[in-house]
Amino acid sequence: MAAKGCLVILNPAADRGEAGRRERELRDALEGAGLEYKLVRTEAPGHASELAREAARAGIPLLVAAGGDGTVNEVAQGLVGTEVPLGVLPIGSGNDYARALGIPKELGAAAQRLATNPPKAVDVGLVEGRYFLNSLGMGIDGQIAWDYRRMRFLKGELGYLAATLLEIVRFRSFWAEVEADGWSFSERLLTTAVMNGPYAGGGFYLAPQARPDDGQLDLVFLGNYPRVVRFSVLPKTRDGSYLALSRVQHRRARKARIVADRPLPVHMDGELLPEPVSHLEVELRPKALLVV
């Protein structure tokens, strides 16, 4: 891979702008791994997807997303269904997809992986004409992502934790109807999480059994709890122990339809849909993306 080179797409706005200040560190890691590369910076939301599509058409042998989960998601939009593999250098605030793939957080080790590991095929999810790689959240976790985006002074896991505590107090539960692969149910919920990897929100262990290449989506439904009880329930999502609670359901499916009684914020890999929605149709696309 090193002899063929790669294109690195750096999102300087990732991690509240910290990613842009780490460009020299990023270059040192790439050069230390012996990679021939060209580095370009994104200039606006959506730019990474445009760059990825152009690179895929040009036959670039490896495309590397340098940023967080949102950056990786944008780059992947241009690579799904192509023969161009995706590499990840995790310098964002959450880095949940990198964690799901076993990519080291230390940049030197992550770059070395790009130079030596062969590509492998993984699954992706499809919603509203857009792919997600790791997680989708509708309900309180979508609201948490909304809050986090508006926070100015907290970032990373601390920011997600602060937003979680805020929504424990104020989030209003919703009624949802779910149909998926021969089963259905309706219930009052706090959230619906559709997981292709085990982590979301900067390390919350929402779906311990989920794997990006197992041919299934893991759907987790967290039922409603009184606000005072939520303070003991939601922290259990940190280590996955919440799955043992009586008001939590865990199912697996390749297709699902979710209808809520009001529009709700929805995140895909930590990035919000433009507007809250009340209806979602989710579909798995197995082995649709190559990753290193």
Partners of 267 in the beta sheet? Answer: 137, 272
Q: Give the containing element (helix H, strand E) for 24.
A: helix 23-32
Closest CA to 138 of 268, 8, 290, 283: 268
β pairing state of 217-223 and 183-195? antiparallel
Phi, psi for 62 (deg, rounded to 5): -155, 130
**Residue 50 is a catalytic residue:** no
- Check 271, 275, 281, 283 and give the catalytic one: 271
Closest Cα to residue 187, out of 233, 234, 139, 146? 139
Element (H, E) at 188: strand 183-195
Q: In whole angstroms, what separates CA 193 from the centre of its chain?
A: 11
How many Å from the N-terminal Cα to the C-terminal Cα in the chain?
11
Give catalytic residue positions: 271
